[in-house]
């Protein structure tokens, strides 16, 4: 029996509905894939404003990012800093609260043909994330958020590099500042905690006491030389690298450099034409006459 006109119309309508459903699903999927963040859109703690690509490159150059580094970008947005770090050979991780941005970052990394273990993105809160394995931390956060992170950053391994677009860390002054036109980027190197009294001995000489004062990466203090307390000459702290000089009672300049590891420092010294090794260990607190008691402002 031939189908009636009504049946033909109903079948045609059903086909049209099915096609419309497929098209609607395709459009929805396409819209999801084509998610584009808007500059200034609100986030959990900040609005989203991307770091210009040339400034990303400069920040990574300041931090000397390369193979062997583990880079964490806290608030990674569209993933551009993570992707740029991965292209330099680092293992890079982005922590981003917005799941749409995380998905976008993963697609951007796939377009660059970066393997997931080189450019990884996780959805999460930067204040709850574990980034203790990082050798480099990248930030583009407001000053109060930087300050909230600062204690955690200062507890990281000495020598860890921290770079920030635009905003500082209050009284923790940067080790380096660069500008893209008028936009700043800052670098900090996490300092070892060396404040306090140390007993140190130079190869072939009697032990002495040195009292180190520390204000983040800035050093001061003095050396006890019998009845004289000699000030330190050009004291420096760069991550775990310590260097300073002093003039002994005979007018001979000693120049020391070493590496701090916990409660010990080891290194080499030069005094005139003589060179040798020196070691130091933390001593029990004992103020030196005429010298300020050890102080530190690492929080």
Domain definitions of the chain by residue range: 1-33, 53-189, 196-282
CATH of 53-189, one of 3.40.309.10, 3.50.50.60, 3.40.50.1580, 3.40.50.150: 3.40.50.150
Average pLDDT over residues 54-73: 98
DSSP secondary structure code for residue 269 in this structure: E
- Characterize the bridge pairing of strands 119-123 and 91-96: parallel
Whole-model pTM over 0.75: yes
Q: Quick check: 291 pLDDT over 50?
A: no
pLDDT in tens, 92-119: 999 999 999 999 999 999 999 999 899 9
Percent of residues, the chain, with pLDDT higher than 70:
84
Q: Please provide residue 200's backbone torsions phi and psi, each rounded to the nearest 5 degrees.
A: -130, 150
Q: Of residues 40 and 143, which shows the higher confidence score?
A: 143
CATH T-level assignment (fold) for domain 196-282: Lipocalin (2.40.128)
CB 127 within 8 A of CB 72: no
List the Cα angle 193/155/283 in 5-degree steps. Answer: 25
Percent of residues, the chain, with pLDDT higher than 90:
76
């Amino acid at each position: 029996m031939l189908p009636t006109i009504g049946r033909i119309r109903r079948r045609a309508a059903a086909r049209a509905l099915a096609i419309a459903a497929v098209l609607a699903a395709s459009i929805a999927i396409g819209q999801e894939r084509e998610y584009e963040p808007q500059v200034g859109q609100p986030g959990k703690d900040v609005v989203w404003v991307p770091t210009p690509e040339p400034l990303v490159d400069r920040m990574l150059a300041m931090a000397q990012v390369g193979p062997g580094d583990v880079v964490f970008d806290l608030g990674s947005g569209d993933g551009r800093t993570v992707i740029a770090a991965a292209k330099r050979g680092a293992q890079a991780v982005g922590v981003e609260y917005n799941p749409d941005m995380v998905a976008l970052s993963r697609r951007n990394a796939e377009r660059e043909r970066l393997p997931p273990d080189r450019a990884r993105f996780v959805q999460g809160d930067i204040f709850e994330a574990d980034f203790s394995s990082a050798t480099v931390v990248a930030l583009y956060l407001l000053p109060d958020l930087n300050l909230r992170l600062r204690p955690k950053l200062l507890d990281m391994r000495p020598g860890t590099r921290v770079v920030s677009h635009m905003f500082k860390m209050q009284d923790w002054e940067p080790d380096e500042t660069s500008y893209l036109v008028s936009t700043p980027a800052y670098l900090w190197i996490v300092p070892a905690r060396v404040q306090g009294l140390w007993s140190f001995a130079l190869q072939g000489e009697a032990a002495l006491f040195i009292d180190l004062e520390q204000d983040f990466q800035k050093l001061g203090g003095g050396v006890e030389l019998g009845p004289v307390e000699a000030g330190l000459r050009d004291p420096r702290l760069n991550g775990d690298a310590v260097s300073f000089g002093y003039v002994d009672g005979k007018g001979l300049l000693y120049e020391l450099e070493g590496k701090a590891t916990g409660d010990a420092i080891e290194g080499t010294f030069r005094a005139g034409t003589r060179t040798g090794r020196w070691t130091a260990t933390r001593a029990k607190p004992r103020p030196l006459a005429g010298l300020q008691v050890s102080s530190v402002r690492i929080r």
